[in-house]
Structure 1
Amino acid sequence: MTVPPTFPLTGEPLALDLLNTRPTGAGDLIAGPEGLAAWLAAQKGRLGPVAEVGPAEVAAVHAVREAAGAALAAARRGGPPPADALRALNGAAAAAPAHPTLAWTPESGLTATPHRTGTPARCLAAELAQATADLLTDPRVREVRECEGADCVLLFLPAHPRRRWCVASACGNRARVARYYARHKP
């Protein structure tokens, strides 16, 4: 029996959640279809439905993640993103354009839902490329931080300026325990 991957940090901007699928010591949490399907389930409601997850979807998501990582690293430093990262993100977004689909229900009234055309892999990559574009153009992009926990590489956008760890109950506790033992060494 395969143990499903654990996603150490979700609920950040979608592009950061995508980048956080490679935590230190855990490998690539979306290396294959099973892992990607579990990550998509953890992101329920934030992405359009994906009927089946196969190698094409994994490859498309990996391509967006690589480009997003390079572009975000540059944006955090205040520099221009690499041209190849921008080309990859723009290509992914253009491969499955979105248009609004209007619907009426008595419960919610008139709604406009984005609808993308293209293969499932292209639609998924386009949604993630759009989420990356949203993050890269957010004025707070330079506030994105890397967790200060030992050996942690997860990224987060702090809601509070004093936030130092991706998850206070995990990395924060480990840091506090390490400080305690350092102060109380015999």
Structure 2
Amino acid sequence: MTVTFPLTGEPLALDLLNTESATGDLVADPAGLAAWLAAQAGRLTPVAAVGAAEVSAVQAVREAARPALDAARRGEGPPAGALRVLNEALAAAPSYRVLAWTEEAGTVASAYRTAEPARRLAAELAEAAAELLTDPRVGQVRACEAHDCVLLFLPAHPRRRWCVASACGNRARVARYYARHKGDTPV
């Protein structure tokens, strides 16, 4: 089975939340998580082997990030339990910066975490959730307006209504067209 992700390229925390789509949990097993991590190449520290521990860690962060984001979008304080889970993930694999020199980029600073892969991955995703929750634009995060879609996005344009215009947007436009012209067809 090939897993395809309906929406990537949003802030990392939204990409994580969007792994739970209307069709199910896209990171429910190691193969699904490995595919999602491949789709996020360059945004997370690579994980050599994805197993049940990594799946469990990612799902725990996602399940804590969702109610925290829902509250933040409403301008409310996040649930204490969600913050506890996110803070525990951050504390389990603290990061530190390492400076290096390259001819191409000059001095660069990279974050490193010393922890087992599952904890490191959970910490990186919890950090992404923290960045989104503290972003002044968190109230602008929207849910796709398509009736059968549960994906979230941060619109670059205030008129954006769908997660992917060529998918959900087209389905919505076709549905409106058929609804308007339903009575015009001769029997």
- TM-score with structure 2 length normalisation? 0.96
Q: CA deviation at 1:110?
A: 1.7
How many angstroms apart in 2 are the aligned matches of 1:73 and 1:157?
13
Cα-to-partner distance string for 1:135-155 (whole Å, 9 max, x where unaligned): 000011011110000111100
Aligned to 1:23: 21
The answer as to 2:134 corresponding to 1:137 is yes
Q: CA deviation at 1:183?
A: 1.1
The answer as to 2:63 corresponding to 1:66 is yes
- Which structure 1 segments of 5+ residues have no match? none
How many angstroms apart in 2 are the aligned matches of 1:110 and 1:77?
41
Query: Between Structure 1 and Structure 2, how many residues are aligned?
Result: 183
The answer as to 2:154 corresponding to 1:149 is no
Aligned to 1:90: 87
Hey, which bits of structure 1, 4+ residues long, moved more than 6 A?
none
Which SS does the other structure have where 1:184 is aligned?
helix
- TM-score with structure 1 length normalisation? 0.96
> AA paired with 2:13?
A
Bigger shift: residues 104-113 or 116-125: 104-113
Percent of matched pairs sharing the same residue: 74
Cα-to-partner distance string for 1:83-102 (whole Å, 9 max, x where unaligned): 01000000001100000112
Which SS does the other structure have where 1:185 is aligned?
helix
Which SS does the other structure have where 2:60 is aligned?
helix
Measured on the aligned residues, the alpha-carbon RMSD in Å equals 0.8
Aligned to 1:101: 98
How many angstroms apart in 1 are the aligned matches of 2:2 and 2:109?
34
How many angstroms apart in 2 are the aligned matches of 1:147 and 1:108?
38
Aligned to 2:5: 7
Which SS does the other structure have where 2:5 is aligned?
coil
